[in-house]
Amino acid sequence: MTIYIVNHSFHYEMENLVRMFFPNEKISVVQGDIIEENSSYIITRLYHKGNNIVVSAKLCFGDYHKEASESVSFCEDEEKETERTMAVVLYRLLSEMTGIKQPWGILTGVRPIKLFRRLTEKYGETGAKAYFTDRLLVSDEKTNLSSLTEKYERNILSLSRDESCSLYVSIPFCPTRCSYCSFVSQTIERAKNLVQPYLELLCKELEYTAEIIKKKKLRLESVYIGGGTPTTLNSIQLDTLISVIRNNFDLSLCREFTIEAGRPDTITEEKLLAIRNGGVDRISINPQTLNDHVLEVIGRKHNSAQTFEAYELARNLGFDHINMDLIAGLPTDTTESYRSTLDKICELDPESITVHTLALKRSSKLTLQGSGVTDESGKAAYEMLAYGEKKLTKSGYIPYYLYRQSRMEGNLENVGWSKKGYEGIYNVFVMDETHTIIGCGAGAVTKLKVPGRDSLTRIFNYKYPYEYINGFDEMLKRKDQVRTFYDELS
């Protein structure tokens, strides 16, 4: 399929919009008028008629031809309104042709709650909801979810100050690679010889980073050790890592210290004791599903019984803030099976439950093997999330953060649910881009935020552990950019 972009610069938004309706199609974007007519193409065009701007879209799929246009009303931000209008025109044509109504309308961005907050500040809650439904074509259901999530997020965002920052630490190793995963994590079996040298250098990067944070008088609000699966480290290595963080960073004002305990089959009493004794106050045990067949299909080596065992062990050792991750729309999972999983998780009564929707990334095994998003899989994921929202609300959970990804089943969303007072604040800070996030380790990205502005300065670490080890001196040089950034602010 080819999308022709004529007299405008909105190619990125138009491509993403088309991809929502045709997630498995190969899409080419061409600037300029039709070069070669084929059986499937779309034209989006901007032109002037008198003093008015007119946008149009045309669909040509074999014998199916449909075209529509609309004039753009004059407003303060003419370019954004022109882009929005063109998206609406194209969306309506695609929706009519396919019979599909997207739950998030023309929204393709990953941070709808951030947008809803801005609209609320400008128009009030009622005006923001009207903008979502009338001008962005978002469903009432997702608009109401956005409004509710934004209210709970607001309380967390108010905790951040101009000098605030958070720390992300990457452990890029996993027991196995899940079929849906596109992260740069490597299996322990293949990379076991890299783990110890990686950890030693990571500790040095953390010490170097802590000195910068101290000198720049930054306030550390939250720490998140993720991956990968951090509990692929043994108990001694976990103790070493946590001790380096605790001994070098000022955690006196830190509101949350999280570690992804991750897969149940990597959790042992010794590891949990190292984590607990290090002062970590939030862990995540991530079953994704309690259907053993689905676990096998997605390449996980644990079973549902191990999830219950790991959870009980963590509770018995005194952990009082446990998060559990689930994924809606996994291969071979059914709506009934998903409901059973969620019901059992709610019976465990963890403090927070994060519900992801399956996203098919380009480099994942599922995508490379030819699996794709279909209408049926999208409908199933929608039913799963709808059940989840009712069940979790009834069970006393609130939606405290939300984000979206490309190529998600049903173009849906990921939502963090928690009991009141147990929200994962790092998740909110990173998704809202509230303040600076300093990343350490392979694949980590530091995002430097100027207070009061939306722009971010990004510093990328090397992706893979072997690159990180071989280029470690370069990693420390890049960290000096944090120092320079704050020098220029002062």
CA distance 348 to 298: 24
Average pLDDT for consecutive 10-residue bins of the chain (490 residues)?
A: 95 95 90 79 93 93 94 84 96 96 95 97 97 98 98 96 97 74 59 92 98 98 94 97 98 97 92 97 96 90 94 97 96 96 98 94 51 70 97 98 91 97 97 97 97 93 95 96 94
CA distance 149 to 166: 22
CA distance 269 to 259: 15
Residues sharing a CB contact under 8 Å with residue 233, sequence separation 6 or more, in sequence order: 171, 173, 195, 199, 241, 271
CA distance 25 to 14: 14
- Please tell me the predicted confidence (pLDDT) of residue 371: 52
CA distance 98 to 395: 37
Contact 263, 300 (CB under 8 A): yes
- Reading the block at residue 166, the tokens are 């958070």
CA distance 96 to 64: 12
**Angular region, 147: left φ>0, alpha ψ -120 to 50, beta rest:** alpha
Amino acid identity at 285 = I
Element of type H or E holding 449: strand 445-449
Give 16's strand partners: none
Residues sharing a CB contact under 8 Å with residue 70, sequence separation 6 or more, in sequence order: 54, 55, 56, 85, 88, 89
pTM of the entire structure? 0.93
Angle of CA points 369, 371, 374, to nearest 5°? 170
- Please tell me the predicted confidence (pLDDT) of residue 299: 85
- DSSP SS3 for 399: strand
- Please tell me the predicted confidence (pLDDT) of residue 203: 98
Contact 482, 209 (CB under 8 A): yes
- Please tell me the predicted confidence (pLDDT) of residue 364: 45
CA distance 27 to 15: 8
425-432 and 140-157 are packed helices; what angle lies between their axes, rounded to 10 degrees? Answer: 110
Element of type H or E holding 147: helix 140-157
CA distance 438 to 483: 12
CA distance 101 to 95: 6
Domains identified in the chain and CATH numbers: 1-100 (3.30.160), 156-483 (3.80.30.20)
CA distance 403 to 361: 16
